[in-house]
Amino acid sequence: DVKVTQSSRYLVKRTGEKVFLECVQDMDHENMFWYRQDPGLGLRLIYFSYDVKMKEKGDIPEGYSVSREKKERFSLILESASTNQTSMYLCASSPVGGTANTEAFFGQGTRLTVV
Amino acid sequence: AQSVAQPEDQVNVAEGNPLTVKCTYSVSGNPYLFWYVQYPNRGLQFLLKYITGDNLVKGSYGFEAEFNKSQTSFHLKKPSALVSDSALYFCAVPDTGRRALTFGSGTRLQVQP
């Protein structure tokens, strides 16, 4: 059974903290993604990666960075957490060729609250 | 740019009745279209996809979707709703330039017993 695992289901962090959200997939997928989910806005793409050590900005990269040192792991970093980054964060992966005709696989999500 | 729109924030239906969750798309070329479902406090699960061929696509959990090119729609349907179908449903289209999916705003389906 394919799996995308996010390290935490729930996190509470303080304003100004550096926050790491970890994601691991066991499907040997090339592509990995971080989305942010907010009510009424759907999912918005933060960053994505096609390969190890490669990253590209999505639609809302401000305040975030990512790291992909190994193929199976894609980390999202909040450099200095702010309350407007309180949200649900979803990691996803897909095989080479992307989502043109194959589905993406999602982790269970991390609900982050910044206080 | 590729995009999808879900015009309804919420759909309410009685158990046993047919359900429809609406999605319209705007794409260049031949569309590839997806439906995902999100149960409470869970990640997204793939339901079905349209690539080419039959306009009626069958997916998981008894769901199906009807592709209509003239109306640029891809509505999700089920003949008989279950209370357990209550969830958040997302329509999506590939952003092929970035190999990512672009999602609609989501529709919450509430099935009343």
- Nearest CB partner across the interface for B43, out of A31, A58, A106: A106
**Phi and psi based region of residue A70 (left: phi greater than 0; alpha: psi -120 to 50; beta: remaining):** beta
The pLDDT tens digits for B49-104 are 998 888 999 999 999 999 999 999 999 999 999 999 999 999 999 887 778 899 99
Give the type of residue at B82: L
A43 with B45: Cβ contact below 8 A: no
Q: How many domains does chain A have?
A: 1
Q: Which domain holds residue A90?
A: 4-114
Q: Are strands A10-13 and A110-114 parallel, antiparallel or unpaired?
A: parallel
Residue A24: phi and psi, rounded to 5, are -130, 135
Residue B84: phi and psi, rounded to 5, are -70, -10
**CATH code, A9:** 2.60.40.10
CB atoms under 10 Å from CB of A14, counted, come to: 9
B42 with A50: Cβ contact below 8 A: no
Q: Which residue has the tokens 């649900």?
A: A88
- Nearest CB partner across the interface for A99, out of B44, B45, B94: B94
Separation CA A69–CA A20 (nearest Å): 14
Separation CA A71–CA A81 (nearest Å): 26
Q: What DSSP line would sit under B59-71, residue for residue? A: -GGG-EEEEETTT
> Going from the N-terminus, what domains does chain B have, and what CATH number goes with each?
3-112 (2.60.40.10)
Average pLDDT across chain A, whole number: 93
B105 with A106: Cβ contact below 8 A: no
Residue B12 pLDDT level (bands cut at 50, 70, 90): very high
